[in-house]
């Protein structure tokens, strides 16, 4: 069962060696080689705002501990006169998780530089709070946040700043287009072309107030980018500005944040009733699209082989952990087959082959090999073959990836396959999700059980 191609977001930090994941959470692509695309000309307003704010704009670099080779490059901005800085979590994730191997430095628009320390982060919203070591940034001023009581109107001009592709500081103007539909957490849809290296940079309104933080852009598109609303950055600053620096690997802090997040995600998902797939034989679990998107397709009407209908639903965004791991999203799909044109034996061969082709992952640096249990389940007379698998996270104790495969086994030339995946859930929540998913299968009506 091959997944449909959905939306894919690319995070805006340039991280050497990282690979984009096939999920729709901000991730960090490889350093782009060759000539970067030049930004379009900017208006007098953009030039005015950049000149006024460039003293608070920074480049954030993650360097190897023992040399000056950079592992990632992003952007940030000053939020206090004492040298406190906001950026994205994914910009500094290597340092947060491996402080023995990496270090942080900043560079200003006028060529100054210095050492940074990490005070706190909010992985769920992809934010981090840093502070300059020493007095190098003191007295440069700070950018203020736009009050929540003054919401932007759709179409208003806003201005993104950062250091794209590590070539130069830049300002890119675009439009505010409200919040992204069906996103679990609020994200601003920004119509503007921002690039890797701008992650963590500020986005300002006409008055120079911060309305958002650069976080991601949509691959294979133009002028479709996303911002973390400024209110979440302001909240992080308010609660952690007096925090002590994080000196050791932050896996425990990250695990606690992800545990709270998945509790909320699972509770909200379980509270939603299943929608109908409109199949004439089976009731198949389709989620309400409150924070998921669904796509579907089927065989042409004149197809001479196996007839099928396919649907896939998934969350658009995930939580960035590291360049090798994103988590915190749900993904589900089903395929309904009709093999009357094939006959019993050919249908059985193709139907069972689709089930065997599902990939469940293996043993790697971030997760264990899947541990699976298979059994037959009776859903009010509808027999199901179900396989439930868990992969444990190695450094995020108590969290797992859940995969469930289900196939109906009631007819010689008809059937349905379903798959459900949940990334980064507790064992108890995995059991709840498995039960909820299996409850979504049934006959469309009781008379089907007799045929």
The answer to the question of residue 356 being in a domain is yes
Burial class (CB in 10 A: 0-12, 13-18, 19+), 362: exposed
**What is the per-residue pLDDT for 447?**
53
Q: Do 387 and 341 reside in the same domain of the chain?
A: yes
**What is the per-residue pLDDT for 270?**
97
Q: Do 301 and 440 reside in the same domain of the chain?
A: yes
Q: Do 188 and 324 reside in the same domain of the chain?
A: no
Burial class (CB in 10 A: 0-12, 13-18, 19+), 247: exposed
Q: Do 73 and 25 reside in the same domain of the chain?
A: yes
Which of these three, 222, 249, 276, is where a domain ends?
249
Model confidence, pTM: 0.88
The answer to the question of residue 241 being in a domain is yes
Q: Do 270 and 181 reside in the same domain of the chain?
A: no
Give the whole-angstrom CA distance, residue 24 versus residue 8: 5
What residues form DSSP beta bridges with 227? Answer: 188, 214
Query: Which regions in the chain score pLDDT beneath 70?
Result: 1-41, 220-221, 301-304, 446-451
Residue-number span of the structural domain to which 445 is assigned = 256-450
What residues form DSSP beta bridges with 313? Answer: 294, 332
Q: Do 184 and 240 reside in the same domain of the chain?
A: yes
Q: Do 406 and 369 reside in the same domain of the chain?
A: yes
Q: Do 171 and 120 reside in the same domain of the chain?
A: yes
Which of these three, 231, 249, 267, is where a domain ends?
249
Asked if residue 160 lies in contact with residue 201, where contact means CB atoms within 8 angstroms, the answer is: yes
**What is the per-residue pLDDT for 193?**
84
The torsion angles phi and psi of 317, rounded to 5 degrees, stand at -130, 150
Say which CATH number the domain at 38 has: 2.40.10.120
**What is the per-residue pLDDT for 298?**
81
**What is the per-residue pLDDT for 11?**
55
pLDDT in tens, 278-332: 888 999 999 999 999 999 888 775 666 788 888 999 998 899 999 999 999 999 9
Q: Do 224 and 337 reside in the same domain of the chain?
A: no
**What is the per-residue pLDDT for 384?**
95
Domains: count for the chain: 2
93-97-102-107 Cα dihedral, nearest 10 degrees? 30
Q: Do 390 and 431 reside in the same domain of the chain?
A: yes
Give the whole-angstrom CA distance, residue 121 versus residue 241: 11
Which of these three, 192, 224, 249, is where a domain ends?
249
**What is the per-residue pLDDT for 27?**
32
Which tokens sit at 230?
Answer: 């400024």
The answer to the question of residue 385 being in a domain is yes
Q: Do 307 and 221 reside in the same domain of the chain?
A: no
Find the angle CA(429)-CA(323)-CA(183) to the nearest 5 degrees.
50
Give me the residue label for tokens 């107030």: 209
The answer to the question of residue 353 being in a domain is yes
The answer to the question of residue 166 being in a domain is yes
């Amino acid at each position: 069962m091959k997944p449909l191609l959905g939306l894919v977001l690319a995070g805006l930090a340039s991280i050497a060696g990282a690979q984009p994941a096939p999920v729709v959470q901000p991730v960090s692509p490889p350093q782009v080689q060759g000539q970067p695309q030049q930004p379009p000309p900017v208006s007098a307003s953009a030039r005015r705002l950049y000149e006024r704010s460039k003293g608070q704009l920074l480049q954030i670099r993650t360097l190897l501990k023992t040399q000056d080779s950079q592992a990632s490059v992003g952007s940030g901005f000053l939020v206090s006169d004492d040298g406190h800085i906001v950026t994205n979590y994914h910009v500094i994730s290597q340092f947060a998780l491996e402080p023995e191997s990496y270090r942080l430095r900043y560079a200003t628009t006028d060529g100054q530089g210095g050492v940074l320390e990490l005070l706190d982060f909010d992985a769920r919203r992809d934010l981090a709070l840093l502070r300059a070591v020493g007095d190098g940034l003191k007295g440069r001023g700070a950018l203020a946040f736009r009050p929540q009581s003054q919401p932007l109107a759709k179409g208003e001009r806003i201005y993104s700043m950062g250091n794209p592709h590590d070539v130069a500081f830049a300002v890119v103007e675009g439009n505010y287009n409200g919040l992204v539909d069906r996103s679990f957490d609020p994200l601003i849809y920004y119509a503007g072309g921002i690039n890797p290296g701008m992650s963590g940079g500020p986005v300002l309104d006409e008055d120079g107030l911060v309305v958002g933080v650069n976080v991601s852009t949509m691959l294979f598109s133009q002028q479709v980018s996303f911002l973390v609303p400024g209110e979440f950055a302001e909240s992080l600053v308010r609660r952690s500005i007096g925090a002590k620096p994080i000196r050791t690997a932050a896996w425990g802090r990250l695990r606690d944040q992800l545990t709270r997040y998945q509790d909320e995600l699972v509770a909200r998902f379980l509270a939603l009733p299943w929608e109908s797939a409109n199949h004439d034989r089976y009731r198949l679990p389709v989620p309400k699209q409150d924070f998921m998107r669904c796509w579907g397709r089927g065989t042409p009407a004149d197809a001479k082989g196996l007839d099928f209908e396919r649907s896939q639903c998934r969350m658009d965004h995930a939580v960035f952990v590291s360049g090798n791991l994103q988590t915190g999203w749900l993904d589900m799909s089903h395929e309904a087959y009709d093999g009357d044109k094939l006959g019993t034996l050919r249908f059985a061969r193709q139907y069972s082959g689709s089930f065997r082709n599902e990939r469940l992952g293996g043993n790697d640096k971030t997760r264990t090999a899947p541990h699976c249990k298979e059994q037959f389940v009776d859903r009010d007379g509808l027999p199901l073959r179900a396989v439930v698998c868990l992969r444990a996270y190695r450094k995020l104790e108590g969290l797992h990836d859940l995969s469930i495969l289900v196939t109906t086994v009631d007819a010689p030339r008809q059937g349905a396959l379903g798959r459900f995946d949940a990334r980064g859930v507790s064992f108890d929540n995995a059991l709840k999700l498995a039960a909820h998913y299996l409850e979504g299968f049934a006959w469309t009506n009781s008379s089907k059980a007799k045929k």
